[in-house]
Amino acid sequence: MKEMIYQTVCPGCNMGCGLYIRENDEGTVAIDFMKSSPANLGKLCRFGMQLPHHYSKATSMVDGVESSIDDAIQAASTKLKGAKDVAMLSVGATTSEEHLAFTKVADALGTVVNTGMGTYAELPPECHATVGHGIPLEDVEQASKIALFIDPYTQYPLIVRRLLAAKRSGASIIAVGPKEIKLADETKHIGPDQYESELGLDSESLIIADVHPHSDPEHVKHLLNLALMTGARIMFMKPFVDSTGVHLLSRGTGQKGLQEIMDGINEGSIKTLVTLDSDPIELMPNGVEDILKKLDNLVVISSRNSPVTRLAQIVIGTEPLYAKAGSFMNVEGQMLKNSGSSSIGIDALSTLAQNLGGKAFDCQGLHTQVLENVVKEYTGPKYKKLSCEMMETAPEEGKGNLINVYNPFMWFDQPDDNDFVMVNMNTVKSLGLRKGGMIALTSNGGTLKIRYAVAEVPDGLMLTNKKLPITTGTCTVVTAEGC
Amino acid sequence: MVAVGDMLVGYATDGGVRKRGASGGLVTAVLAAALEKGLVENVVVMKHINEFEAVPIITDDVEVVLASTGSLHSVPVNLAKYAVGRKVAMPAKPCDAQAVIEQAKRGMIDLDNTYVVGLNCGGSMHPVTTKKMLVEMYDIDPEDVIGEEIEKGKLIFKTKDGNEKGIAIDELEEAGFGRRDSCRYCTIKIPVNADLACGNWGVIGDLAGSATFCQVMNDKGVRLLENAIEAGRIEVQPASEKAIAIREKVNTAMVNLGNTLEGKILTEIPDEARIQYYLDQMANCIDCGACKEVCPVCACGEDSKCTMFHSLVDDYSMSMYHLVRLLHLSDSCIACGQCSDVCPSDIPITILQSRFAIPAQRKREYTPGMNVDETPPFFEVILK
Amino acid sequence: MVEKEWEPKIVAFCCNWCSYGGADTAGMGRFQQPASTRVIRVMCSGRIDPLHVFNAFLEGADAVLVTGCHIGDCHYVNGNEKTEVRYKFLEDMLQQLGLEPERLHLNWISASEGERFAHFIRDVTAKVKELGPSPLKPAGVS
């Protein structure tokens, strides 16, 4: 009985939580705690604890038939040679080195790799450094006032203990968002026009928000203005293990957002899609399978089986994330290395690049380049006040807004015990819902009966931590009924 | 040869193992011999990564055992679960040995085929806190540390440049550093529940620092030692009366300290403040389930009542998961501290468990993990 | 509008063979007892896991009663002895948790002890009414 033990980083979000993965010779995977890991002290959130359910062996396929990885690479090379209207997608769910390798394939194809973060494209370049840069988690514990624009418990759980430590040192915490946050001294339901006046921030304060493929760029602009006007530091949490790393690697390239790519495929301006550990079916709200079927070519390079691997014409299956030789950059800007030494993914990309007319490369060379890309110092905001639009707030009369609360389980559409919506007591009473019973929600996407939990949210708002079949976007208009 | 009850002092015959091992390398040599001569198929050892990190591995390679790390005070891990379903020999702090026996009571470990080499323990520390302590209290760069030991109540660190610096553990703990909370109020310092009880207390004179005191607790202990002697891996001699007395004295001092600190850590809560205290303590739980995964006494697996009766959708004021665990562990919690270590919300779960477990166990005069024939009080009524 | 006086919610676990019969006898005997008790019938008090008691409190019970056959009379020989072992843990635990001891009771009641059952319910209801709603009640449950 042999066991391989890997030191790796949890792929749930960009916190960079270190852990051990123990793999036995039957391929069964278990987690173990790496207590000296600085970002998380070995601690893991619910997603991290359930990682054995997340990883899976990726199978190389050509036209729906299992094949060897070499055959899949050859088939992909043939398909991509001279392919027109190509889009490439890597959200940052793999190592920096593999993402960099992917960009070299993009170079050979005459295109760029999109990270799917549409927000960056909507912001003036002077802002990118502020959005992409994070602060040491220990600094969170030292802030005297914190404005929270995320739900820490659900979205980035390992930051909860940092906030609790800040509180113990006397920090005051104000949450701004749809749900009452337990550890906050106060939760405010205010619009961006009230941020400056209501929050009372100054240069000792810290703003914690997040940016992800479905963020509203207007809201990000409001937050950037808030930081600028008050002098507060700002940190944007991010959803993928290497979000910060791929942001650095894609500096200066014209980027498309996820929605833009899907629209492009839908209207026919994108005919070929190549993805690296990025599954649009998991990442987008519902309905993209039909859009993906419109592609002439769908080539998927992935370290795990996921819905898109069943749809793709070609799947190049690489080693599991924890076994890869490579590094990640977490939200603090810390480079974290895997202890693994496998380079199946990188070698596949190198072969692909060569077949398409590019040069070969290896992990060591890529790592050197990744190191060169690291930003040494952040010297503060370099942008001027941004003009931004007002955002719509209240739902229509008689309808509710069902809001996705993005979290690791949602990004990977991972099954969990979290299939319920959160509504407030007024809604429960006005709809006559039964205790322990269900609520019926209807949107443009259909009707769904689902369990509900009572939470402190404003009237007319419903929250979900799980991607539901009836959601059409971050905010879905629904009518609700008792059942 | 060797008999149950013997108090011996011994060391590894291999000079390298003797020097590298914590005080004489006896434990390493005994484990290696157990593997070598087929007493067991595998050995659980700690694989050294750096001074503050090691990971438990299960190996069938004698060389790996011989190269394994000595005592690392900053690696707080419980090894019991790594022995489940296997035939191993393993090193064990008193809490590791307690957990092994509790798992045996629940049918998860076959004690006849599990050899437990006990190690004295004064307490372990959390690696990240220790690194911070080195910078703030010792003015030492953690990268420069090459070894550490606890001697006469002082925590001493050795650095690359050949220097040493020691600070009294009391002083460190007053400043919020030092040992983990559960270690501070632990009162089982000598692993009398293991097959052998080894440590460096009572190793005096010329042998100080290069030999291990070893008390033979039972027949398996006899087998372990005789096996190692036959393999030519160790040499032992009887311990002097003086050595035995010194060991007892150190133990008594440590146990008394543990008893004193219990009152300081498990502070009195006024009756009217209790519910709010528990509501506040458990308020930030994020339902990760790590405390159950890591608990070395838990043996229920996935079909456990604590998880079956708990759901994320619950609107309860307190978590059913925690209430069930507090109840179901009140007869068996050994206060090893693993749950507090892994809680992502920094909930001091061990302290909460102890508030229920210590009174429940004392009321029934029951200490978990000491004797596999003692039935946990919850199972007291069995139809014969 | 006249505000209704608060009625406590009391959950009584009754074993099929003895205490449930006792509850029945109390009803048939027309003994006066408040209507605030919800009876949950189990085959034996030994079926009751303390976690059922927790669940009852967390769902909004103001008091929980664990009842069964007298020791020695258990239909399943020693089921109630197991209840006793568990109850002792439960009692200590609720005291440690800070819940008022009057909210939890253990009582052995036989099928013929109708008046005793009614008296017990009257007694507990009065005490709990005085104590007020349980501190563990979830929002939305009166």
Instruction: Give the distance from residue B212's alpha carbon to the nearest chain A alpha carbon, in angstroms.
Output: 29
Q: Which of B204, B228, B257 is the last residue of a domain?
A: B257
Of B128, B286, B313, the CB nearest to A45: B286
Does B341 sit within 8 Å of A160, measured CB to CB?
A: no
List chain B residues with CB under 8 Å of C137.
317
What pLDDT was estimated at residue C32?
Answer: 85
Q: To which residue do tokens 């043939």 refer?
A: A78
DSSP-derived secondary structure letter, C43 = S
Share of chain B above pLDDT 90, in %: 85
Q: Chain C contact for A454, CB < 8 A?
A: yes
List chain B residues with CB under 8 Å of C135.
275, 317
3-state class (DSSP) for residue C135: coil
Is the model's pLDDT at B126 over the cut of 70?
Answer: yes
Amino acid in position B322:
H
- For the record, the structure tokens of A163 come out as 């906030």
| Average pLDDT of the residues in B257-271 | 95
Instruction: Give the distance from residue C26's alpha carbon to the nearest chain A alpha carbon, in angstroms.
Output: 31
Q: Which CATH number fits the domain that encloses residue B136?
A: 3.10.450
Which residue of C lies nearest to B360 if distances are taken between CA atoms? C89
- C-alpha neighbours within 13 Å on the C-beta side of residue A70: 0
Of A7, A32, A46, the CB nearest to B287: A46
Instruction: Give the distance from residue A167's alpha carbon to the nearest chain C alpha carbon, in angstroms.
Output: 25
Helices B320-328 & B349-363, crossing angle to 10 degrees? 40
Length of chain C: 142
- Sheet with A3-9, edge to edge strand ranges: A3-9, A18-24, A29-33
CB neighbourhood size of B84 (10 A) = 17
Residue from A7, A24, A35 whose CB has the most chain B CBs within 10 Å, to mutate: A35
Share of chain A above pLDDT 70, in %: 99
List chain B residues with CB under 8 Å of A7.
49
Is the model's pLDDT at A392 over the cut of 80?
Answer: no
B159-165 long-range contacts (CB < 8 A, ≥24 apart) are B165/B138, B165/B140
Q: Which CATH number fits the domain that encloses residue B321?
A: 1.10.1060
Strands A65-66 and A61-62: antiparallel
Is the model's pLDDT at B348 over the cut of 70?
Answer: yes
Q: Chain A contact for B135, CB < 8 A?
A: no
Does A32 sit within 8 Å of B55, measured CB to CB?
A: yes
- Mean pLDDT value across chain B: 93
- In degrees, rounded to 5, the angle at the alpha carbon of residue B160 between the alpha carbons of residues B157 and B163 is 55
Residue B214 and residue B316 in one domain: no
Assigned domain for B1 exists: no
H/E element holding B103? helix B94-105
- Domain count across chain B: 3
Question: Spelled out in words, what is the top-level CATH class assigned to the domain A400-482?
Answer: mainly beta
Q: Chain C contact for A428, CB < 8 A?
A: yes
Of the candidates C26, C13, C10, the residue with the CA atom closest to the CA atom of residue C108 = C13
pLDDT band at A394 (very low <50, low <70, confident <90, very high): low
pLDDT band at A442 (very low <50, low <70, confident <90, very high): very high
Instruction: Give the distance from residue B258's alpha carbon to the nearest chain C alpha carbon, in angstroms.
Output: 22
In angstroms, how far is the first alpha carbon of chain A from the final one?
53
Does C139 sit within 8 Å of A428, measured CB to CB?
A: no
Cα–Cα distance for residue pair A433/A289, rounded to 1 Å: 34
- For the record, the structure tokens of A227 come out as 């930081």
Question: For residues A314 and A61, is the Cβ–Cβ distance under 8 A?
Answer: yes
- In degrees, rounded to 5, the angle at the alpha carbon of residue C48 between the alpha carbons of residues C43 and C53 is 135
What pLDDT was estimated at residue C131?
Answer: 95
- In degrees, rounded to 5, the angle at the alpha carbon of residue B117 between the alpha carbons of residues B114 and B119 is 145
B139-148 long-range contacts (CB < 8 A, ≥24 apart) are B140/B165, B142/B51, B142/B52, B145/B51, B146/B51, B147/B51, B148/B51, B148/B73, B148/B74
Assigned domain for B2 exists: no
Selected residues 302-361 of chain B with any CB under 8 Å from a CB in chain A: 311-315, 341-346
Of B315, B318, B381, the CB nearest to C85: B381
Determine which of A294-298, A328-332, C30-34, C130-134 has the lowest per-residue pLDDT on average: C30-34
Cα–Cα distance for residue pair C18/C120, rounded to 1 Å: 15
Assigned domain for B339 exists: yes
- Per-domain residue ranges of chain A: 1-391, 400-482
Q: Which chains touch A (3 or more CB pairs under 8 A)?
A: B, C
Does B57 sit within 8 Å of A42, measured CB to CB?
A: no
pLDDT band at B382 (very low <50, low <70, confident <90, very high): low
Assigned domain for B22 exists: yes
Q: How many CB pairs under 8 A join B and C?
A: 77
Is the model's pLDDT at A1 over the cut of 70?
Answer: no
Quote the pTM value: 0.95
What is the number of H-type helices and E-type strands within chain B?
15, 11
- Mean pLDDT value across chain A: 94
Residue B271 and residue B220 in one domain: no
Question: For residues A466 and A190, is the Cβ–Cβ distance under 8 A?
Answer: no
What pLDDT was estimated at residue B341?
Answer: 97
Length of chain B: 384
List chain C residues with CB under 8 Å of B275.
97-99, 135-136
Cα–Cα distance for residue pair A91/A113, rounded to 1 Å: 9
Helices (H), chain C: 19-28, 50-59, 79-97, 114-131
What pLDDT was estimated at residue C31?
Answer: 85
| Average pLDDT of the residues in B112-116 | 96
Q: Chain B contact for A153, CB < 8 A?
A: yes
What pLDDT was estimated at residue B147?
Answer: 85
What pLDDT was estimated at residue B71?
Answer: 77
Residue B250 and residue B275 in one domain: no
Is the model's pLDDT at A251 over the cut of 90?
Answer: no
Of the candidates A161, A209, A152, the residue with the CA atom closest to the CA atom of residue A179 = A152
Which residue of A lies nearest to B346 if distances are taken between CA atoms? A161
What pLDDT was estimated at residue A393?
Answer: 62
List chain C residues with CB under 8 Å of B380.
85
pLDDT tens readout for residues B146-199: 888 887 788 999 999 999 999 999 999 999 999 999 999 999 999 999 999 999
| Average pLDDT of the residues in A452-473 | 93
Cα–Cα distance for residue pair B2/B216, rounded to 1 Å: 8
Determine which of A56-65, A298-307, B132-141, B153-162 has the lowest per-residue pLDDT on average: B153-162
Helices (H), B272-319: 274-282, 290-294, 305-308
| Average pLDDT of the residues in B11-18 | 89
Of A7, A38, A164, the CB nearest to B346: A164
Higher pLDDT, B145 or A395: B145
| Average pLDDT of the residues in C121-135 | 95
Of the candidates B131, B138, B80, B137, the residue with the CA atom closest to the CA atom of residue B104 = B80
Cα–Cα distance for residue pair B77/A59, rounded to 1 Å: 36
Residue B42 and residue B168 in one domain: no
pLDDT tens readout for residues A201-239: 999 999 999 999 999 999 999 999 999 999 999 999 999
List chain C residues with CB under 8 Å of B314.
58
ipTM score assigned to the predicted complex: 0.95
What pLDDT was estimated at residue B19?
Answer: 83
Q: Which chains touch C (3 or more CB pairs under 8 A)?
A: A, B
Question: For residues A311 and A293, is the Cβ–Cβ distance under 8 A?
Answer: yes
Q: Chain C contact for A425, CB < 8 A?
A: yes
3-state class (DSSP) for residue B206: helix
Does C99 sit within 8 Å of B275, measured CB to CB?
A: yes
pLDDT band at C1 (very low <50, low <70, confident <90, very high): low
pLDDT band at B380 (very low <50, low <70, confident <90, very high): confident
CB neighbourhood size of A264 (10 A) = 17
Instruction: Give the distance from residue B288's alpha carbon to the nearest chain A alpha carbon, in angstroms.
Output: 4
| Average pLDDT of the residues in A429-433 | 93
- For the record, the structure tokens of B65 come out as 């055992």
CB neighbourhood size of B261 (10 A) = 19
Residue B111 and residue B217 in one domain: yes
Is the model's pLDDT at B343 over the cut of 70?
Answer: yes
Assigned domain for B143 exists: yes
pLDDT tens readout for residues B32-62: 999 999 999 999 999 999 989 999 999 999 9
Residue B142 and residue B208 in one domain: no
3-state secondary structure chain A: CCEEEEEEECCCCCCCCEEEEEEECCCCEEEEECCCCCCCCCCCCHHHHCHHHCCCCCCCEECCEECCHHHHHHHHHHHHCCCCCEEEECCCCCCHHHHHHHHHHHHHHCCCEECECHHHHHCCHHHHHHHHCCCCHHHHHHCCEEEECCCHHHHCHHHHHHHHHHHHCCCEEEEECCCCCCCCCEEECCCHHHHHHHHCCCCCEEEEEECCCCCCHHHHHHHHHHHHHHCCEEEEECCCCCHHHHHHHCCCCCCCEHHHHHHHHHHCCCCEEEEECCCHHHHCCCCHHHHHCCCCEEEEEECCCCHHHHHCCEEEECCCHHHECCEEECCCCCEEECCCCECHHHHHHHHHHHHCCCCCCCHHHHHHHHHHCCCCCCCCCCCCCCCCCCCCCCCCCCCEEEEECCCHHHHCCCCCCCCEEEECHHHHHHHCCCCCCEEEEEECCEEEEEEEEECCCCCCEEEECCCCCCCCCCEEEEEEEEC
Cα–Cα distance for residue pair B353/B286, rounded to 1 Å: 18
Of B273, B277, B330, the CB nearest to C89: B330
Amino acid in position B96:
D
Helices B26-36 & B219-230, crossing angle to 10 degrees? 80
Is the model's pLDDT at B258 over the cut of 90?
Answer: yes
| Average pLDDT of the residues in C43-61 | 95
Residue B171 and residue B190 in one domain: no
List chain B residues with CB under 8 Å of A35.
53, 75-77, 126-128, 341
pLDDT tens readout for residues B197-230: 999 999 988 888 889 999 999 999 999 999 999 9
- For the record, the structure tokens of B290 come out as 């790590």
3-state class (DSSP) for residue B266: coil
Q: Chain C contact for A453, CB < 8 A?
A: no
Residue B372 and residue B229 in one domain: no
Higher pLDDT, A123 or A252: A123
| Average pLDDT of the residues in A100-114 | 95
Does B381 sit within 8 Å of C89, measured CB to CB?
A: no
Of A1, A33, A160, the CB nearest to B342: A33
Domains annotated on chain C, with CATH: 11-131 (3.40.50)
3-state class (DSSP) for residue B24: coil
What pLDDT was estimated at residue B331?
Answer: 94
Residue A302 pairs with which residues in a beta bridge? Answer: A317
pLDDT band at A266 (very low <50, low <70, confident <90, very high): very high
Q: To which residue do tokens 């800007």 refer?
A: A333
List chain C residues with CB under 8 Å of B282.
none
Is the model's pLDDT at B383 over the cut of 60?
Answer: no
Does A454 sit within 8 Å of C139, measured CB to CB?
A: yes
Q: What are phi and psi of A225, to 5 degrees?
A: -65, -45
| Average pLDDT of the residues in A344-350 | 97
By a Cβ cutoff of 8 Å, what residues of chain C touch chain B? 49-51, 54-55, 58-59, 77-78, 81-82, 85-86, 89-90, 92-93, 96-99, 135-140
Of A1, A164, A420, the CB nearest to B345: A164
Instruction: Give the distance from residue A340's alpha carbon to the nearest chain C alpha carbon, in angstroms.
Output: 44
pLDDT tens readout for residues B73-104: 899 999 999 999 999 999 999 999 999 999 99
pLDDT tens readout for residues B310-324: 999 998 999 999 999
pLDDT band at B130 (very low <50, low <70, confident <90, very high): very high
Cα–Cα distance for residue pair B277/B273, rounded to 1 Å: 6
Cα–Cα distance for residue pair B109/C57, rounded to 1 Å: 37
Residue B14 structural domain = 7-124+185-257
Q: Chain B contact for A52, CB < 8 A?
A: no
Highest mean pLDDT among A367-381, A382-396, B169-183: B169-183
Is the model's pLDDT at B381 over the cut of 90?
Answer: no
Assigned domain for B163 exists: yes
Instruction: Give the distance from residue B381's alpha carbon to the nearest chain C alpha carbon, in angstroms.
Output: 6
Burial class of residue A290 in the structure, from the number of CB atoms within 10 Å of its CB (0-12 exposed, 13-18 middle, 19+ buried): exposed
Q: Chain B contact for A65, CB < 8 A?
A: no
Residue B315 and residue B334 in one domain: yes
By a Cβ cutoff of 8 Å, what residues of chain C touch chain A? 138-141
pLDDT band at A373 (very low <50, low <70, confident <90, very high): confident
Is the model's pLDDT at A160 over the cut of 70?
Answer: yes
Assigned domain for B384 exists: no
Is the model's pLDDT at A354 over the cut of 90?
Answer: yes
Is the model's pLDDT at A395 over the cut of 80?
Answer: no
- CA-to-CA dists, residue B41 to A23, B90, B300, C1, angstroms: 20, 11, 26, 79
